[in-house]
Structure 1
Protein backbone atom coordinates (compact mmCIF):
# COMPACT_ATOMS: atom_id res chain seq x y z
CA UNK A 1 0.00 0.00 0.00
CA UNK A 2 1.43 3.39 -1.04
CA UNK A 3 1.63 6.32 1.34
CA UNK A 4 -0.60 9.24 0.37
CA UNK A 5 0.37 12.90 0.36
CA UNK A 6 -2.07 13.49 3.20
CA UNK A 7 -0.35 10.84 5.34
CA UNK A 8 3.05 12.43 4.68
CA UNK A 9 1.71 15.87 5.62
CA UNK A 10 0.19 14.48 8.82
CA UNK A 11 3.52 12.89 9.73
CA UNK A 12 5.36 16.16 9.05
CA UNK A 13 2.91 18.10 11.24
CA UNK A 14 3.82 15.87 14.18
CA UNK A 15 7.60 16.30 13.75
CA UNK A 16 9.68 18.78 15.71
CA UNK A 17 11.68 21.43 13.91
CA UNK A 18 14.98 19.62 14.47
CA UNK A 19 13.49 16.43 13.04
CA UNK A 20 12.25 18.31 9.98
CA UNK A 21 15.71 19.80 9.49
CA UNK A 22 17.28 16.33 9.64
CA UNK A 23 14.70 15.05 7.16
CA UNK A 24 15.48 17.83 4.69
CA UNK A 25 19.21 17.09 4.95
CA UNK A 26 18.60 13.38 4.39
CA UNK A 27 16.45 14.08 1.33
CA UNK A 28 19.11 16.43 -0.07
CA UNK A 29 21.80 13.78 0.37
CA UNK A 30 19.69 10.94 -0.99
CA UNK A 31 18.54 12.75 -4.13
CA UNK A 32 21.63 14.94 -4.62
CA UNK A 33 19.68 18.20 -4.53
CA UNK A 34 19.68 21.37 -2.46
CA UNK A 35 16.46 22.62 -0.92
CA UNK A 36 15.84 26.30 -1.63
CA UNK A 37 13.12 28.53 -0.29
CA UNK A 38 10.26 28.81 -2.73
CA UNK A 39 9.54 32.29 -4.01
CA UNK A 40 5.84 32.89 -4.26
CA UNK A 41 4.46 35.24 -6.87
CA UNK A 42 3.06 38.40 -5.31
CA UNK A 43 -0.66 38.41 -4.74
CA UNK A 44 -2.78 40.58 -6.99
CA UNK A 45 -2.69 44.18 -5.82
CA UNK A 46 0.51 43.71 -3.81
CA UNK A 47 3.48 45.76 -4.98
CA UNK A 48 6.57 43.87 -6.09
CA UNK A 49 9.46 44.17 -3.60
CA UNK A 50 11.87 44.99 -6.42
CA UNK A 51 11.06 48.27 -8.12
CA UNK A 52 11.18 48.39 -11.91
CA UNK A 53 12.25 52.03 -11.89
CA UNK A 54 14.61 53.97 -9.63
CA UNK A 55 16.06 57.44 -9.22
CA UNK A 56 19.74 58.19 -9.80
CA UNK A 57 21.02 60.28 -6.89
CA UNK A 58 24.32 62.13 -6.96
CA UNK A 59 25.67 62.01 -3.40
CA UNK A 60 29.07 63.61 -4.08
CA UNK A 61 30.72 65.15 -7.11
CA UNK A 62 34.15 64.04 -5.92
CA UNK A 63 37.38 65.78 -6.89
CA UNK A 64 36.78 65.78 -10.66
CA UNK A 65 33.74 68.07 -10.78
CA UNK A 66 34.30 69.11 -14.39
CA UNK A 67 34.11 65.49 -15.56
CA UNK A 68 31.01 64.88 -13.46
CA UNK A 69 29.35 68.03 -14.85
CA UNK A 70 30.03 66.79 -18.40
CA UNK A 71 28.47 63.39 -17.65
CA UNK A 72 25.44 64.98 -15.93
CA UNK A 73 24.99 67.27 -18.96
CA UNK A 74 25.11 64.26 -21.29
CA UNK A 75 22.75 62.13 -19.20
CA UNK A 76 20.14 64.79 -18.53
CA UNK A 77 20.22 66.86 -21.71
CA UNK A 78 20.68 69.98 -19.58
CA UNK A 79 22.77 72.90 -20.70
CA UNK A 80 26.26 73.29 -19.29
CA UNK A 81 25.26 75.95 -16.71
CA UNK A 82 22.24 73.96 -15.52
CA UNK A 83 24.34 70.80 -15.19
CA UNK A 84 26.94 72.80 -13.19
CA UNK A 85 24.21 74.18 -10.88
CA UNK A 86 22.93 70.66 -10.33
CA UNK A 87 26.39 69.31 -9.44
CA UNK A 88 27.28 72.33 -7.29
CA UNK A 89 23.96 72.19 -5.42
CA UNK A 90 23.11 70.56 -2.10
CA UNK A 91 23.70 66.80 -2.06
CA UNK A 92 22.13 64.34 -2.51
CA UNK A 93 20.51 65.55 -5.70
CA UNK A 94 18.38 63.59 -8.16
CA UNK A 95 20.06 63.42 -11.55
CA UNK A 96 17.20 61.46 -13.13
CA UNK A 97 14.02 60.02 -11.67
CA UNK A 98 11.92 57.02 -12.73
CA UNK A 99 14.64 55.33 -14.76
CA UNK A 100 14.65 51.62 -15.63
CA UNK A 101 17.09 49.74 -13.41
CA UNK A 102 19.35 48.71 -16.31
CA UNK A 103 19.60 52.31 -17.53
CA UNK A 104 20.17 53.56 -13.99
CA UNK A 105 23.05 51.11 -13.53
CA UNK A 106 24.63 52.40 -16.75
CA UNK A 107 24.23 56.01 -15.61
CA UNK A 108 25.70 55.16 -12.23
CA UNK A 109 28.70 53.52 -13.87
CA UNK A 110 29.33 56.61 -16.04
CA UNK A 111 29.09 58.95 -13.06
CA UNK A 112 31.33 56.78 -10.87
CA UNK A 113 33.88 56.57 -13.69
CA UNK A 114 33.89 60.38 -13.76
CA UNK A 115 34.62 60.43 -10.01
CA UNK A 116 31.17 60.90 -8.47
CA UNK A 117 29.45 59.00 -5.69
CA UNK A 118 26.01 57.76 -6.71
CA UNK A 119 23.06 55.96 -5.10
CA UNK A 120 20.06 54.35 -6.73
CA UNK A 121 16.75 54.61 -4.88
Structure 2
Protein backbone atom coordinates (compact mmCIF):
# COMPACT_ATOMS: atom_id res chain seq x y z
CA UNK A 1 0.00 0.00 0.00
CA UNK A 2 1.32 3.41 -0.96
CA UNK A 3 1.94 5.73 1.96
CA UNK A 4 -0.26 8.85 1.86
CA UNK A 5 0.93 12.21 3.02
CA UNK A 6 -1.13 14.14 5.54
CA UNK A 7 -2.28 16.54 2.81
CA UNK A 8 -3.37 13.68 0.56
CA UNK A 9 -5.27 12.10 3.41
CA UNK A 10 -7.02 15.39 4.23
CA UNK A 11 -7.93 15.86 0.57
CA UNK A 12 -9.47 12.38 0.57
CA UNK A 13 -11.51 13.26 3.67
CA UNK A 14 -12.74 16.47 2.03
CA UNK A 15 -14.25 14.40 -0.78
CA UNK A 16 -16.17 12.11 1.60
CA UNK A 17 -19.73 12.68 2.79
CA UNK A 18 -20.50 13.05 6.49
CA UNK A 19 -21.98 9.55 6.54
CA UNK A 20 -18.84 8.11 4.96
CA UNK A 21 -16.67 9.98 7.49
CA UNK A 22 -18.81 8.73 10.37
CA UNK A 23 -18.46 5.14 9.15
CA UNK A 24 -14.70 5.67 8.74
CA UNK A 25 -14.39 6.91 12.34
CA UNK A 26 -16.33 3.89 13.66
CA UNK A 27 -14.17 1.49 11.69
CA UNK A 28 -10.99 3.32 12.80
CA UNK A 29 -12.08 3.08 16.45
CA UNK A 30 -12.84 -0.65 16.11
CA UNK A 31 -9.62 -1.42 14.25
CA UNK A 32 -7.28 0.40 16.64
CA UNK A 33 -9.29 0.08 19.88
CA UNK A 34 -9.43 3.85 20.45
CA UNK A 35 -12.15 6.42 20.87
CA UNK A 36 -12.46 9.61 18.85
CA UNK A 37 -14.29 11.41 21.67
CA UNK A 38 -12.70 14.74 22.50
CA UNK A 39 -11.76 15.18 26.16
CA UNK A 40 -14.09 18.14 26.58
CA UNK A 41 -17.33 18.25 28.54
CA UNK A 42 -20.39 18.89 26.40
CA UNK A 43 -23.71 19.94 27.94
CA UNK A 44 -26.66 17.98 26.60
CA UNK A 45 -29.94 19.70 25.79
CA UNK A 46 -32.76 18.79 28.20
CA UNK A 47 -35.34 16.34 26.91
CA UNK A 48 -38.73 17.72 25.94
CA UNK A 49 -41.16 16.29 28.47
CA UNK A 50 -40.13 17.88 31.71
CA UNK A 51 -38.76 16.24 34.84
CA UNK A 52 -40.70 13.00 34.37
CA UNK A 53 -39.10 12.46 30.97
CA UNK A 54 -35.68 13.20 32.43
CA UNK A 55 -36.12 10.58 35.14
CA UNK A 56 -37.02 7.93 32.56
CA UNK A 57 -34.08 8.94 30.40
CA UNK A 58 -31.67 8.66 33.33
CA UNK A 59 -32.88 5.13 34.04
CA UNK A 60 -32.18 4.12 30.43
CA UNK A 61 -28.81 5.87 30.11
CA UNK A 62 -26.33 3.67 28.26
CA UNK A 63 -23.62 6.22 27.48
CA UNK A 64 -21.54 7.90 30.16
CA UNK A 65 -18.92 10.62 30.47
CA UNK A 66 -15.96 9.87 32.74
CA UNK A 67 -15.14 13.14 34.50
CA UNK A 68 -11.87 13.66 36.38
CA UNK A 69 -12.77 15.82 39.38
CA UNK A 70 -9.31 15.93 40.99
CA UNK A 71 -5.95 14.24 40.44
CA UNK A 72 -5.18 13.71 44.12
CA UNK A 73 -1.69 13.23 45.55
CA UNK A 74 -0.47 10.78 42.91
CA UNK A 75 -0.72 13.03 39.87
CA UNK A 76 1.93 11.15 37.89
CA UNK A 77 0.00 7.88 38.20
CA UNK A 78 -3.20 9.65 37.14
CA UNK A 79 -1.44 11.15 34.09
CA UNK A 80 -0.19 7.67 33.12
CA UNK A 81 -3.71 6.27 33.43
CA UNK A 82 -5.22 9.15 31.41
CA UNK A 83 -2.65 8.48 28.67
CA UNK A 84 -3.56 4.78 28.65
CA UNK A 85 -7.29 5.53 28.42
CA UNK A 86 -7.18 8.32 25.84
CA UNK A 87 -4.04 7.79 23.73
CA UNK A 88 -3.03 11.39 24.47
CA UNK A 89 0.59 12.45 24.56
CA UNK A 90 2.34 13.23 27.82
CA UNK A 91 1.91 17.01 27.53
CA UNK A 92 -1.79 16.79 26.61
CA UNK A 93 -2.54 14.28 29.38
CA UNK A 94 -0.70 16.45 31.95
CA UNK A 95 -2.65 19.55 30.86
CA UNK A 96 -5.91 17.62 31.03
CA UNK A 97 -5.19 16.33 34.54
CA UNK A 98 -4.07 19.75 35.76
CA UNK A 99 -7.22 21.42 34.40
CA UNK A 100 -9.60 19.16 36.34
CA UNK A 101 -12.53 18.94 36.54
CA UNK A 102 -12.56 17.73 32.92
CA UNK A 103 -14.19 14.93 30.95
CA UNK A 104 -11.63 12.22 30.20
CA UNK A 105 -13.92 10.03 28.08
CA UNK A 106 -17.28 10.94 26.59
CA UNK A 107 -20.23 8.83 25.56
CA UNK A 108 -18.70 5.48 26.42
CA UNK A 109 -20.55 2.31 27.37
CA UNK A 110 -21.37 1.77 31.03
CA UNK A 111 -18.90 -1.09 31.52
CA UNK A 112 -16.06 0.86 29.84
CA UNK A 113 -16.88 3.93 31.94
CA UNK A 114 -16.84 1.91 35.15
CA UNK A 115 -13.51 0.28 34.23
CA UNK A 116 -12.01 3.70 33.46
CA UNK A 117 -13.35 5.06 36.76
CA UNK A 118 -11.84 2.15 38.70
CA UNK A 119 -8.49 2.57 36.95
CA UNK A 120 -8.35 6.31 37.61
CA UNK A 121 -9.44 5.91 41.23
CA UNK A 122 -6.81 3.19 41.64
CA UNK A 123 -4.25 5.74 40.45
CA UNK A 124 -5.44 8.17 43.15
CA UNK A 125 -7.92 10.37 41.24
CA UNK A 126 -11.42 11.48 42.16
CA UNK A 127 -13.77 10.53 39.32
CA UNK A 128 -17.51 10.80 38.60
CA UNK A 129 -19.67 9.27 35.89
CA UNK A 130 -22.26 11.50 34.26
Specify the TM-score bucket, using the shorter chain as the normaliser. Answer: 0.5 to 0.7
Q: Secondary structure at the match of 1:66?
A: helix
Query: 2:61 aligned to 32, 51, 55, which one?
Result: 51
Q: CA RMSD in A?
A: 1.3
Alignment correspondent of 1:87: 97
Alignment correspondent of 1:61: 71
Question: In 2, distance between residues paired with 1:120 and 1:74?
Answer: 18
| 2:54 maps to 1:77 | no
Deviations 1:25-53 (Å, cap 9, x if unpaired)? xxxxxxxxxxxxxxxxxxxxx74623001
Q: Where do 5+ consecutive residues of structure 2 fail to align?
A: 1-55
Q: Secondary structure at the match of 1:74?
A: helix
Q: TM-score normalized by structure 1?
A: 0.59
Aligned length: 75
1:92 Cα shift? 1.5
Question: In 2, distance between residues paired with 1:110 and 1:47?
Answer: 27
When Rg is computed on C-alpha atoms for both structures, the one with the higher figure is: 1
Question: In 2, distance between residues paired with 1:55 and 1:63?
Answer: 23
Alignment correspondent of 1:31: none
